[in-house]
Amino acid sequence: MNYRHGYHAGSFADVFKHAILVSLIQSLLKKKTAICYLDTHAGAGYYDLISEEAQKSKEFEAGITKVMGAEDPPSLIRDYLSCVQQINIRLAGSVVPSLRYYPGSPSIVRYFLRAQDRMTLTELHPQEYRILKKNFMRDSQTGVHLGDGYQGLKAFLPPKERRSLILIDPPYERPNEFIDIVVMLLAALKRFSSGVYAIWYPIKNRTTINLFYQDLKKAIQQSILIAELNIYSTNSSLLLDGCGMAIVNPPWQLDQQIFEYLPWLWNLLSVHQQGGYRVFSL
Ligand SMILES: C[S@@+](CC[C@H](N)C(=O)[O-])C[C@H]1O[C@@H](n2cnc3c(N)ncnc32)[C@H](O)[C@@H]1O
């Protein structure tokens, strides 16, 4: 396990993933009944952008820094930015909203949760887990667990609330991760068929992604929405051309909501207008 998210915090891929996460959580919070958020690969919770890791690649400069500096962002992006700014104010203890910290998925979701909601986080890396545990130490609505996120799907589903958003965001270090995800997802859906599952994935090679889509479509009965953001042209031979999110049981009109900001994000974050964006039902 070499992956540490601190090197990638606030990158274009984080911006894409977290904007969709905000759309999802806002959709689920439209109803008053409680929800449970499950984050299978939670990371550390917050990332200090002046840390050695973040400064090494400075990926945030091509992601959140650009979004914060852009004029007239779409409404959902404004909500996401407010969340990032409020978390910075709280952590830095200052009223001036500057960008020192980038919040990970647990902190972003926690910002939106109400008193009746709760969240369960799993993280396998002992060091990341220790930081995550410390970050949510005094939070009675959050449970933090050291262990395998896929086992967490078995342990924590179905949730007692019966309404749940599940983020599956692995580092894709394992060669069979795309195949494993489909198997794990299928097992999770057998335990809890009505959950909203969001799976993030890197786009490096189009053949791998097409196979992943085929496997998902074959294995899963529920509706699946795909959103992709590509900032380089296909198979550019760079490390990452883009990334995607597959959403099982997407909330009503999620596709339209994503269309309100994805073109704007692509225009801002793509490198020389390469790549593109897509939103479609599988
Ligand atoms: C992409 S990062 C997560 C980022 C986080 N979800 C966010 O959006 O801020 C993936 C995390 O998964 C952890 N990890 C790797 N394998 C895991 C496993 N089998 N179960 C749980 N966590 C795992 C890594 O240590 C890393 O912190």
The pLDDT assigned to 237 comes to 61
Could you give the percent of the chain with pLDDT greater than 90?
89
Which mutation among 22, 123, 130, 180 tests ligand 1's pocket best, with the greatest number of atoms within 8 A of CB?
123
User: What is the rounded distance in angstroms from the CA atom of residue 36 to the CA atom of residue 118?
Assistant: 5
- Average pLDDT of the residues of the chain: 95
List all residues 6 or more positions away from 249 whose beta carbon is below 8 Å from its beta carbon.
194, 195, 196, 197, 222, 223
> How many other β-carbons are positioned within 10 Å of the β-carbon of residue 212?
21
175 pLDDT tier (thresholds 50, 70, 90):
confident
Which of 204, 154, 205, 159 has the alpha carbon at shortest distance from 183?
154
Q: Is the CB of 5 under 6 A from ligand 1?
A: yes
The active-site residue, picked from 39, 117, 169, 241, is 169
Q: Which amino acid is at 38?
A: L
Report the pLDDT averaged over residues 100-127. Answer: 97
Domain count, the chain: 1
Q: pLDDT by residue (tens digit) across 177-196? A: 999 999 999 999 999 999 99
Q: pLDDT by residue (tens digit) across 244-274? A: 999 999 999 999 999 999 999 999 999 999 9
**Residues 211 and 265 sit within 8 Å (Cβ to Cβ):** no
Closest ligand 1 atom to Cα of 1: 15
The pLDDT assigned to 236 comes to 64
Annotated catalytic residue 169: yes
The pLDDT assigned to 96 comes to 66
User: What is the rounded distance in angstroms from the CA atom of residue 199 to the CA atom of residue 34?
Assistant: 22
* 8 CA distance to ligand 1 middle (Å): 12
Domain that holds residue 80: 5-281
* 243 CA distance to ligand 1 middle (Å): 16
Which of 160, 153, 156 has the alpha carbon at shortest distance from 143?
156
Q: What tokens does 209 get?
A: 């992604």
Could you give the percent of the chain with pLDDT greater than 70?
97
Separation of CA 193 from chain center: 21
Q: Is the CB of 45 under 6 A from ligand 1?
A: no
Closest ligand 1 atom to Cα of 21: 8
User: What is the rounded distance in angstroms from the CA atom of residue 26 to the CA atom of residue 48?
Assistant: 26
Q: Is the CB of 135 under 6 A from ligand 1?
A: no
- Enter the pTM of the model: 0.96
pLDDT of 10 > 80? The answer is yes
Report the pLDDT averaged over residues 2-9. Answer: 89
CA nearest ligand 1 atom 4, residue: 43
User: What is the rounded distance in angstroms from the CA atom of residue 180 to the CA atom of residue 191?
Assistant: 17
The pLDDT assigned to 111 comes to 97
Q: Is the CB of 59 under 6 A from ligand 1?
A: no
Crossing angle of helices 75-92/105-112, nearest 10°? 100
121 membership: H or E segment, kind and range: strand 118-123
* 176 CA distance to ligand 1 middle (Å): 16
pLDDT of 2 > 70? The answer is yes
Q: pLDDT by residue (tens digit) across 19-73? A: 999 999 999 999 999 999 999 999 999 999 999 999 999 999 999 999 999 999 9
CATH of the domain at 168: 3.40.50.150
